[in-house]
Structure 1
Amino acid sequence: MKTLLSLFVLSILCISCNTKKEDTAQKEIAVAEVVEIATPSKATFITETLELTHCESAVYDKNNDVIYASLIGNRKPGNGSIATVGVDGKLINAQFVAGLNDPKGIAITKDKLYVSDVTELVEADLKTGKVLNTYTAEGIEFLNDVAIAPDGAIYVSDTRTSKIYRLDQDGNFDFWLADPKLDNPNGLLIQGDTMYVASWGGAPEGGRVSKFDMNTKKITSVTDIIGNLDGIRPYDKNHLIISDWRSGKVHLMNFDGTTQEVVTVGQSVGDIAYIKEKNLLLLPMNKQSRLLFYELK
């Protein structure tokens, strides 16, 4: 009888032990799955477009399946341009918009292209590349990135003066916001009523990402200081992609301010673009005069 009782107790203990092992194994698998989901793939190099003299910015035109890239040129009057590039990396037209001086950030509508050009915001025809208008205002020193709001207004950062200018739907171009917290703003991104700002930064270590409600204009910091930030673009509903010009690093930024590096390229990575439906990350390289194509899922 004692022997049978001992065997019964032993079998219960074995079953309990095995159950605990199975539970532990399942928990380990669950944790591994969470880590795998939380850790995005690293960017993988695909190709590059060469001979883009001091390439600074890139934007994708979904309707025409073409990429527009700003080329600063050799910093001679009229030497800058906007080039068109295929999604396969082949150069289509290096002088699609010609006669610019020092073009940087680009934004497009269905029929127009806007690009910052030193102290002017240039408006060009998206089909022909012909310059239609130029806009400027007193006090502008160094226009940089361009962003379009849902209502059609065009916003452009002035990095040197820590200001933002706006072109409204009636064609009025003027100062819109000045705040030291903009901290030498470079990249601009508008999502709904929120504007995200990637700052070059006035401190030696660089700047950070900030955001503000475009109605109240109250600015709050999203990240700590990261570096000399340039581009800022959407990645998915939980992340943005930002580029650090100085270090050559590209990060995924969570909306809580945490960041994760996805690729490091040479110094001078500029105003980046991400084509979600193609898993394609575009990295303009200023010093290297090329546009890099990476796969990023």
Structure 2
Amino acid sequence: MEAILRSGLVFGKAALLGGLLAGCVETQEAQQATGQAASGTFTAGSPLGVMVEDQFSPMSENVKVYGGVVNAESCSYHEGGDLIVVVNRGVNQDQVPNDGFISLLNHDGSVHTANWIGTNREGLILNHPLGSDTWDGRLYVADRDGGTSDQDPSVSVIRWFDLETGAPMGEVPIDDSEGFNDLAIAEDGTIYATDTGASRLYEVSPDGSWRVLLDGAPLNLPNGVAMDNDGNIVIVNIGDAEVITLSPTGATLATEQAVQAGNDGLVILEDGTKYVSSVREGGVSRIRPGEPAELIASNIPSAASMCYDVGGNQLVIPLNPNNAVAIVPLD
């Protein structure tokens, strides 16, 4: 299979926004420096285009722009818009608080909306988001508060947004965790989130209550998490090559092996086929039901928490500090 690298060629968020979007950069930076949401009304960003005499005109269809990602960690498929939702961490909290943003890409990796959530910080807190998932018309992200200095501890916060408008809808802090890595959502709205550093799996109920579902083995620096077609929880570890299927109560049901260890991304298709990306070794393993894993792509730098682009029948893999996504077409 051919892996296609769509490089952002972007050296900073300010450079990206300055070239693609009109806006008041000084005002936005002032809002970010506080690490708090501004008191104004949230506004989502527009697709690429220009504003002339207060009239917005979209870019013509014969133009393609690549980029729109900065330190991207994860992505999800936007079924309603038939777009790829890319979650960008931005810079670290101790550099610029509240710097995360969400961009929208087309199937070929070109930019649809460079800064959909985060075009300004009015009514928005999105500090340093990592994993993401969609459920019931919402985009959920594993974000965090704090971390602006050694005296400001990080706290995991799950935030969610309206998939149609991009508007913030709610959040729940988990003060027992310093930072979730990934999350997945069951059909009933229960959220399962991995804490890699603590080797824990958390369960967050729809009412906001939470508990530690699993602490320690078989978790070994757990990272990617997804729900399978039977409502079970599947997790990949960074610390080994195991792909672990758990019941909703945390009991181990099955253990499979990816080709490589150091895994981050996890996608499960309707036929039960699993795809696993290794952020450390750069490969994508395919595990068909009842068959051993096989490597279908290799040497992808910093292959993070990937998603399945249904409309393009392909894997989309954010590449962390490379400010790009990789695209792996599927058979």
Q: TM-score, normalised to structure 1's length?
A: 0.77
The amino acid across from 1:223 in the alignment is: Q
| Superposed displacement of residue 266, structure 1 | 3.1
2:77 counterpart of 1:60 = yes
The amino acid across from 2:85 in the alignment is: Y
Partners of 1:136 and 1:173 within 8 A in 2: no
**Using a 3 Å threshold, how does the CA distance of structure 1 residues 216 and 124 change in structure 2: closer, same or farther?**
closer
Q: Residues of 1 paired with 2:127 and 2:214: CA distance? A: 25
Unmatched 5+ stretches in structure 1? 1-41
1:100 to 126, 134, 144: 126
Q: Which runs of 4+ in 1 moved over 6 A?
A: none
**Using a 3 Å threshold, how does the CA distance of structure 1 residues 208 and 52 change in structure 2: closer, same or farther?**
same
Deviations along 1:204-256, whole A, 9 cap, x unmatched? xx442111222352364321683210011024525210000011111112344
Please say which of residues 91-100 and 103-112 is displaced more in the overlay: 91-100
**Using a 3 Å threshold, how does the CA distance of structure 1 residues 242 and 95 change in structure 2: closer, same or farther?**
same
2:87 counterpart of 1:70 = yes
Q: Residues of 2 paired with 1:295 and 1:234: CA distance? A: 15
Over alpha carbons, which structure has the higher Rg?
1
* Superposed counterparts of 1:1-297, under 5 Å: 42-45=1-4, 49-75=66-92, 76-98=96-118, 99-118=125-144, 119-191=156-228, 192-201=230-239, 206-215=240-249, 217-218=251-252, 220-223=254-257, 226-235=260-269, 237-256=271-290, 258-276=292-310, 278-297=312-331
Deviations along 1:19-50, whole A, 9 cap, x unmatched? xxxxxxxxxxxxxxxxxxxxxxx244385542
| Superposed displacement of residue 64, structure 1 | 1.7
Give the 3-state SS of the residue equivalent to 1:181 in structure 2: coil
Deviations along 1:136-193, whole A, 9 cap, x unmatched? 2232022011111122212111111111222322233443332321111111111123
The amino acid across from 1:195 in the alignment is: I
Aligned Cα RMSD in Å? 2.2
Q: Residues of 1 paired with 2:317 and 2:235: CA distance? A: 19
Aligned residues: 252
Deviations along 1:112-146, whole A, 9 cap, x unmatched? 11100131111122222222222122320220111
| Superposed displacement of residue 281, structure 1 | 1.7
Q: TM-score, normalised to structure 2's length?
A: 0.70
Could you tell me which residue of structure 1 aligns to residue 16 of structure 2? none
Q: Residues of 1 paired with 2:210 and 2:216: CA distance? A: 19
The amino acid across from 1:108 in the alignment is: T
| Greater fraction helix | 1
The amino acid across from 1:45 in the alignment is: I
The amino acid across from 1:200 in the alignment is: I
Deviations along 1:235-292, whole A, 9 cap, x unmatched? 4525210000011111112344621111124321111112345322211111211112
